[in-house]
Structure 1
Amino acid sequence: MGDFQGEYIQQFLCNINLRKKIKELLKEKTEILQKLEQLEKEGENQSFEERKKRLRSLASQIERNFQCPLSKCGKKYGSEGSLNQHIKLKHPELVNKA
């Protein structure tokens, strides 16, 4: 019978500690949600310029090393992806050959 009472007391104390931790975590969750809400409100108040995701290079700053393979076209691009997009849109006959 002594083991049962000791186990009961131990479980009772564990439950008390777990309830304290749950209350602390719920309080922390509430604080985090309030901070998130505040940050979202501040983000809405920012202008478009402040919310830019990345800085973009000016067209004059881009090195154009990728040239269209058609000699009559002569277009140059700063990336291979841009060149490929140009070929697909402007020269679909080149895409259909491959």
Structure 2
Amino acid sequence: MGDYYFEFIQQYLHNVNLRKKVKELLKEKSEIQQKLDTLEKEDKNHSFEERKKRQRSLASEVQRNFECSLNTCDKKYGEGSLNQHIKLKHPELVNKS
């Protein structure tokens, strides 16, 4: 009889601890949900233009002063785009260096 009673007490205490943890997790979930709702409300108050990461130039506004160094390629690019072109279209030039 003692073994069953001891097992019962262990299971009871284990269940009490689990219930306590579940209540704590539910409370934490509720707090996180409230914070998320607040952030979403704040985010909706900002217009799309305010949230844009950076100003992008139109293709017609880009000055294409940088020419691809490969003889068979006659492409011209704006600042920064030439490096990306070389990496994507001419990887053999990147691996050479």
Secondary structure, counterpart of 1:46 in structure 2: coil
1:42 corresponds to: 42
Question: Normalising by structure 1, what TM-score?
Answer: 0.60
Q: Unaligned stretches of 5+ in structure 1?
A: 85-98
Within 1, Cα distance between the matches of 2:56 and 2:50?
A: 17
Q: What is the aligned-residue RMSD (CA, Å)?
A: 3.5
Question: Normalising by structure 2, what TM-score?
Answer: 0.61
Q: Unaligned stretches of 5+ in structure 2?
A: 88-97
Matches within 5 A, 1:1-98: 1-52=1-52, 54-56=53-55, 66-68=66-68, 69-70=73-74, 75-78=76-79, 79-80=81-82, 81=84
Same amino acid, percent of matched pairs: 55
Tell me the number of residue pairs that the alignment of Structure 1 and Structure 2 aligns.
80
Q: Which runs of 4+ in 1 moved over 2 A?
A: 47-50, 54-59, 62-66, 75-78, 80-84
- Mark the CA change 1:47 to 1:28 in structure 2 (over 3 Å): closer, same or farther: same
